Amino acid sequence: MDIKATELYNNFVKELVNSNGTTLEIEIIINQFENSTSSLAQVSIQNEKKFSLSSYEEFIFFIDDTIKTWDKNQRKLIIEDRIEGDLNFFDIFFGKKKNIKFTSLKQDSKKTELSFIIPSLDYSGEIIFDSINNKISSLKIFYDTNNYIKINVISVRKKIFKMPGDLNKLNYEVIDLRE
């Protein structure tokens, strides 16, 4: 893969994981066959081992290898371990690219498209950067022809990571799935 593509990706990862606090406002679009859903969320990152995703329906907190999901509608807190070898968009954001192979770089006056494959899962995808400032604008992962997830980045700002204070005050049923 070309040096410019690697440099572009590495600079993006470095900005997220070495920032000591970054918040991304995102739109998540999930397409499964003929059905498509869209929701807004906020990703807060302290570092690659401590980060969260917050939406209207849930708050997901990742710390080391533990995932805590507060389901706001069902009032449940689910605690589980990350599955070894599992891959999600955070892994791509944080540069855990041992499973990712970059395949091409396309650039025009407005955007730079970095395509990749994940051979072990038979997935493909693309990361789109703004050509002017090299900031990420979207990430798309194709699971197969009609199934994908797309993350549109609406904004990125520096912000110290902070757990929402109201989560511990609410009465949630705790389901601990860790072994």
Residue type, 82: R
Mean pLDDT, the chain, integer: 87
The pLDDT tens digits for 126-179 are 999 998 888 899 999 999 888 999 999 999 888 877 777 767 666 889 999 997
Residue identified by tokens 């892994």 is: 91
* Higher pLDDT, residue 138 or 98: 138
Q: State both tokens at 84.
A: 């070894």
Which helix H or strand E contains 61, and what residues bound it?
A: strand 58-63
**pLDDT for the residue 52:** 92
Largest CA distance in the chain: 52
pLDDT of 1 above 60: no
The pTM is what? Answer: 0.86
**pLDDT for the residue 163:** 74
Instruction: Specify the range with the lowest mean pLDDT, choosing from 19-23, 31-35, 41-45, 55-59.
Output: 19-23
Domain boundaries, the chain: 3-176
Looking at the domain that runs over 3-176, which CATH code has it been given?
Answer: 2.50.20.10
Q: What string of DSSP letters covers 11-40?
A: HHHHHHHTSS-EEEEEEEEEEETTEEEEEE
**pLDDT for the residue 128:** 95
